[in-house]
Amino acid sequence: MLPNFLKQRAYLTPNRIALISQGTSLTFAGLYEKAKETARKLSSCGLQAEDTAAVLLNSRAETVIILHALQQLRVRTLFLNHRLTPAEMQYQLTDSGAKWLITEKSFREKAEVLNETATVIQSEALDDLPAAGYEERAEFAFEDVCSIMYTSGTTGKPKGVLQTYGNHWWSAAGSALNLGVREDDTWLCAVPLFHISGFSILMRSVFYGMTVYLMEKFDEKETAKLLKSGRITTMSVVTNMLQRLLRELGQERLHPNFRCLLLGGGPAPRPLLEACAEKNIPVFQSYGMTETASQTVTLAPEDSLRKIGSAGKPLFPAQIRIVSDGKVCGPFEHGEIAVKGPNVTIGYLNRPDANQKSFRDGWFFTGDIGYLDDEGFLYVLDRRSDLIISGGENIYPAEIEEVLLAHPDILEAGVIGVEDEKWGQVPAAFIVTKRAVQERELQAFCETRLAKFKIPKKVYAVPALPRNASNKLVRRKLLELLPS
Amino acid sequence: MLPNFLKQRAYLTPNRIALISQGTSLTFAGLYEKAKETARKLSSCGLQAEDTAAVLLNSRAETVIILHALQQLRVRTLFLNHRLTPAEMQYQLTDSGAKWLITEKSFREKAEVLNETATVIQSEALDDLPAAGYEERAEFAFEDVCSIMYTSGTTGKPKGVLQTYGNHWWSAAGSALNLGVREDDTWLCAVPLFHISGFSILMRSVFYGMTVYLMEKFDEKETAKLLKSGRITTMSVVTNMLQRLLRELGQERLHPNFRCLLLGGGPAPRPLLEACAEKNIPVFQSYGMTETASQTVTLAPEDSLRKIGSAGKPLFPAQIRIVSDGKVCGPFEHGEIAVKGPNVTIGYLNRPDANQKSFRDGWFFTGDIGYLDDEGFLYVLDRRSDLIISGGENIYPAEIEEVLLAHPDILEAGVIGVEDEKWGQVPAAFIVTKRAVQERELQAFCETRLAKFKIPKKVYAVPALPRNASNKLVRRKLLELLPS
């Protein structure tokens, strides 16, 4: 139980800048006032405590205000990834029982399709709505669910990860003790708010009293300019963004005020890290997932090259261990990465099966494979369930395979990630078919069912898929079938 | 539930300096190793989880190691104020059920008296003791009691304040979000470790991975030198220390690395704050008590003169309100200060009466009188129970009165604090006697029963004490009886 987060922050440091977005800024007092105003509008629409509302919104000040308004109302927020198809979104709305969809004009087409599943509220129309009262919460309970983000897994269907207010607090507190907190910190948010990497920045802002500089879409030119200006101290990126930023920077250096580039979303190639070290860019590699409410393991820049390839050590409140055959592994032994800590999700929504599988003795089993070295640094060898990370987006082969198998002519399907210069990885599909199917035809088939980044960039017809003794697909062996 | 604090810190940043004391330094890995070694020695003495051990030790590296060893063993630590008499210490040992007293040669006389109440362990003898195993704790439970510190009150007998591991965590986390955390922070500890102001620095050190510079006894010359050197970033002081430091500094300025002087232990006089502002000394005034595990309200330097006399605003996890006649007061209305937050004690040991009186609806009623202004800044008007603050030490009149009344010739006694240039306040006694009693005789009578700083510096014989309708002593009216 802590005081109402935004209310407390607005009380403690009313005049500090909370948000800079599209050239305008908002103090914490201003943000709180606007959030309450929006909460009254949403209340007049009928939103009530414990409802779930989906948001399909771009990264703008209005969105931040809406997200805080939902917290003030104690409405759970379901974050929709913009790139999902209406069918994928519909699944999440239905599964989460979201009654509401708050969206904006630019998503009109998708929203029209979802109109039947949830009551759509246009953010542009909020101003004209009447205001209604609601009970202001003096305190936020740690165990209350704040946000829901869907993530896939081995079983195909995405699962809703429940993130509590406590999860967000602990994630922010752990990060603060690791990265430090300074009064003049400004965190550049150019990652999507619908990913935990973005939303966690908004939560930290309230706990720390820290300015967020919100960029609607990552732009390397604008980013380079900002990072040279001294106005930004911290930024979250994925590998692809860092590559583009480095290219843009050329021979130029960042301002010494800039003290942390938090790198998430999969492993970084060595040459990239070396280029950063050479330019004195303070890269903090990290390991985390939706289920840990952002980074839970982080590597300090001073260890960046000494421990190349490592994701670092846990945040203070968090623990990691490697487990193999039910036993905790010693140094350098490979096994499944298990994590523990108050930042770890309380579980998946409506998925007792997945919860039973993932949680054992208070530990969350990530499905990722890795090891700890003799100093306790974590090395991630294989992302869980053959996870494909493409430009910072997580793609689960099983989800794509399920769609492919729905095609009448496909008998078997296996998907893996293949290297891609721009995105790190892209999905490639291997299929066993009744009759010849064209790659283009299959991609078109996927288009209405899968977000664009999930559509296989290459499709290979093969006579059979590699399977193990229990007839389970061995995705890793698909790599050997790739034409060289 | 968090990972074993010191073990986790030693794992995360083994090579960072944890402690500088008497010219030597210790890394976190070194501190952890030494704490485990000492835990094994103490274990061989018979110390077990859930025991209570009193410590009567000076501020040296060995003491810090012992304090951590006790945490490793899950033994509760009772902190004894060095200045108490053996009789006062005996009361605390008995009341807390402390089986053990860990002390050192310089306290030999006192320890000899206490020998019958608890098993005395000499810290100097630890090296020669055999080692015994103990079960290492993987985690620390928030609800476990870590430390006990006695504080007095209206009823005379001191009460044991139970401070949990959670209290210490939350206090440190709240302070981190307010004062910030930097990798190169070094906190100068020249306040006693047996007060929460000192011990809380050790706890923060482990959570933040921060260096503590431990000074055995406050020395203004050494402090001024350190604060000019750039080696220290933060320091905790009480008013008297600050006055001595300012005098020592003369025209000189502190190093710009020094960023926070945390001022506790009662209100600071305006000229002192003005002198600090003029010298650019970043004073953070604060309000806190043993029951809140250190500061719970703090004033930022930028508000120091604008809000002169204010103690500031709560830390992020904490709340304050002013209550009068059972109602929450509006701005500028005077009433009792109530505090709430996860840093607030779970209660007094063995004192259901005091707990019932102090805790209502989740709020802790401090007994202090104050008000909030229209921006929510706290102003403390009267410390609880006519508290006397003398050189940072809390003195409760009731405790002294009880001793005076034990004298065969004294019929009535009333104690108040009177102004003192050096200590801020010192106690003065008003007595109604059967026959004439000499001041010196009475002071001698007190010497075996009260710590030196509690002995009345002045004793006034009066015909009667001011009492209210219900015959209760009205201490404030004693001031009027002072000879002008």
Task: Provide the pLDDT for residue A383.
Answer: 66
In the predicted model, residues of chain A with pLDDT beneath 50 are: none
Give which of A315, A357, A368 is closest to A340, Cα–Cα. A315
Give which of A188, A200, A190, A198 is closest to A254, Cα–Cα. A188
Average pLDDT, chain B: 92
Task: Provide the pLDDT for residue B403.
Answer: 87
Residue A467: CB atoms within 10 A of its CB come to 13
Instruction: Flag whether residue A314 sits within 8 Å of chain B, measured between CB atoms.
Output: yes
Residue B268: pLDDT band with limits 50, 70, 90:
confident
Q: Which residue type does B278 have?
A: E
What are the residues whose beta carbons fall under 8 Å from the beta carbon of A201, sequence distance 6 or more? A187, A189, A191, A212, A236
Q: How many whole angstroms separate alpha carbon B336 and alpha carbon B370?
A: 6
Question: Among A296, A316, A343, A377, which would you mutate to test the B interface (most chain B Cβ atoms within 10 Å of its Cβ)?
Answer: A316
Which string of b and e fits A128-158 if b means at least 16 CB within 10 Å?
ebeeeebeebebbebebbbbbbbbbbebeeb
- Bridge partners (DSSP) listed for residue B394: B389
Instruction: Tell me how close the Cα of A41 comes to any Cα of chain B, in angstroms.
Output: 27
Q: How many whole angstroms separate alpha carbon B83 and alpha carbon A483?
A: 82
Whether B321 has a pLDDT exceeding 70, the answer reads yes
| Burial (CB count within 10 angstroms: exposed 0-12, middle 13-18, buried 19+), residue B366 | buried
Q: Which CATH number fits domain B388-481: 3.30.360.10, 3.30.390.50, 3.60.20.30, 3.30.300.30?
A: 3.30.300.30
Whether B154 has a pLDDT exceeding 60, the answer reads no
Task: Provide the pLDDT for residue B474.
Answer: 76
Cβ contact B63:B57 at 8 Å: yes
Instruction: Give the pair of three-digit tokens for residue A354.
Output: 């997945």
Task: Provide the pLDDT for residue B384.
Answer: 63
Q: How many whole angstroms separate alpha carbon B188 and alpha carbon B91?
A: 32
Give this complex's ipTM: 0.87
Chain B residues with beta carbon closer than 8 angstroms to that of A8: 316
Which of A8, A177, A342 has its CB closest to that of B181?
Answer: A177
Task: Provide the pLDDT for residue A155.
Answer: 58
Distance of CA A338 to the CA centre of its chain: 19
Instruction: Give the pair of three-digit tokens for residue B116.
Output: 């019958």
| Burial (CB count within 10 angstroms: exposed 0-12, middle 13-18, buried 19+), residue A222 | middle
Q: Stretch B444-451: mean pLDDT, rounded?
A: 90
> Tokens 């843009």 — which residue?
A248
Domain A173-386 belongs to what topology?
Rossmann fold (3.40.50)
Whether B80 has a pLDDT exceeding 80, the answer reads yes
What are the residues whose beta carbons fall under 8 Å from the beta carbon of A43, sequence distance 6 or more? A73, A131, A132, A133, A134
DSSP, collapsed to helix, strand or coil, labels residue B420 as strand
Task: Provide the pLDDT for residue A394.
Answer: 79
Nearest 5°: CA angle at A304, between B257 and A203?
65
Task: Provide the pLDDT for residue B318.
Answer: 98
> CB–CB of B2 and A209 under 8 A?
no
**Model confidence pLDDT, tens digit, residues B89-134:** 999 999 999 999 999 999 999 999 999 999 999 999 999 999 999 9
Give which of A170, A361, A317, A358 is closest to B139, Cα–Cα. A317
Three-state helix/strand/coil letters over chain A: CEECHHHHHHHHCCCCEEEEECCEEEEHHHHHHHHHHHHHHHHHHCCCCCCEEEEECCCCHHHHHHHHHHHHHCCEEEECCCCCCHHHHHHHHHHHCCCEEEECHHHHHHHHHHCCCCEEEEHHHHHHCCCCCCCCCCEECCCCEEEEEEECCCCCCCEEEEEEHHHHHHHHHHHHHHHCECCCCEEEECCCCCCHHHHHHHHHHHHHCCEEEECCCCCHHHHHHHHHHCCCCEEEEEHHHHHHHHHHHCCCCCCCCCCEEEEECCCCCHHHHHHHHHCCCCEEEEEEEHHHCEEEEEECHHHCCCCCCEEEEECCCCEEEEEECCEECCCCCCEEEEEECCCCCCEECCCHHHHHHHEECCEEEEEEEEEECCCCCEEEEECHHHCEEECCEEECHHHHHHHHHCCCCEEEEEEEEEEECCCEEEEEEEEEECCCCCHHHHHHHHHCCCCHHHCCCEEEECCCCCECCCCCECHHHHHHHCCC
Chain A residues with beta carbon closer than 8 angstroms to that of B180: 180-183
**Model confidence pLDDT, tens digit, residues B334-379:** 889 999 999 999 999 999 999 999 999 999 999 888 899 999 999 9
Task: Provide the pLDDT for residue B153.
Answer: 58
Task: Provide the pLDDT for residue A160.
Answer: 97
Taking CA–CA distances from A14, the nearest residue in chain B reads B375
Residue A40: CB atoms within 10 A of its CB come to 19
Task: Provide the pLDDT for residue A105.
Answer: 96
CA distances from B222 to A47, B59, B235, B244, B272 (A): 62, 16, 13, 12, 21
Cβ contact B323:B365 at 8 Å: yes
Task: Provide the pLDDT for residue B194.
Answer: 95
Q: Stretch B325-329: mean pLDDT, rounded?
A: 93
| 349-388 in chain A: CB under 8 A from chain B | 375-376
| Burial (CB count within 10 angstroms: exposed 0-12, middle 13-18, buried 19+), residue B143 | exposed
> CB–CB of A342 and B1 under 8 A?
yes
Question: Among B170, B177, B307, which would you mutate to test the A interface (most chain A Cβ atoms within 10 Å of its Cβ)?
Answer: B177
Domain ranges of chain A: 2-140, 173-386, 388-481
Task: Provide the pLDDT for residue A59.
Answer: 97
Q: How many whole angstroms separate alpha carbon A326 and alpha carbon A149?
A: 29
Task: Provide the pLDDT for residue B291.
Answer: 96
Instruction: Flag whether residue B269 sits within 8 Å of chain A, measured between CB atoms.
Output: no
Q: How many whole angstroms separate alpha carbon B224 and alpha carbon B252?
A: 9
DSSP single-letter state for residue B106: G
End-to-end CA gap in chain A: 58
Instruction: Flag whether residue A207 sits within 8 Å of chain B, measured between CB atoms.
Output: yes
Taking CA–CA distances from B138, the nearest residue in chain A reads A319
Domains A173-386 and A388-481 share a fold: no
Q: How many whole angstroms separate alpha carbon B47 and alpha carbon B40?
A: 9
> Tokens 């108040």 — which residue?
B416
Look at strands A424-433 and A458-461 and give their pairing. parallel
DSSP single-letter state for residue B80: P
Give which of B45, B192, B15, B198 is closest to B128, Cα–Cα. B45
Chain A residues with beta carbon closer than 8 angstroms to that of B318: 3
Task: Provide the pLDDT for residue B105.
Answer: 96
Query: Per mean pLDDT, which range of A299-308, B119-128, B144-153, B413-422 is the poorest?
Result: A299-308
What are the residues whose beta carbons fall under 8 Å from the beta carbon of B167, sequence distance 6 or more? B146, B293, B342, B343, B344, B345, B346
Which of A8, A176, A317 has its CB closest to that of B176?
Answer: A176
Cβ contact A335:A371 at 8 Å: yes
Whether B156 has a pLDDT exceeding 80, the answer reads no
What CATH number is given for B2-140 in this structure? 3.40.50.980
> Tokens 């330094």 — which residue?
B25
Instruction: Give the pair of three-digit tokens for residue A1.
Output: 């139980």
B424-433, strands of its sheet edge to edge: B410-420, B424-433, B458-461
Chain B residues with beta carbon closer than 8 angstroms to that of A177: 176, 181, 207-209
Which string of b and e fits B388-421 if b means at least 16 CB within 10 Å?
bbbbbbbbbbbbbbbbbeebeebebbbbbbeeee
Q: How many whole angstroms separate alpha carbon B200 and alpha carbon B218?
A: 17
| Burial (CB count within 10 angstroms: exposed 0-12, middle 13-18, buried 19+), residue A462 | middle
CA distances from B131 to B36, B42, B140 (A): 10, 8, 23
Instruction: Tell me how close the Cα of B207 comes to any Cα of chain A, in angstroms.
Output: 7
Residue B346: CB atoms within 10 A of its CB come to 16
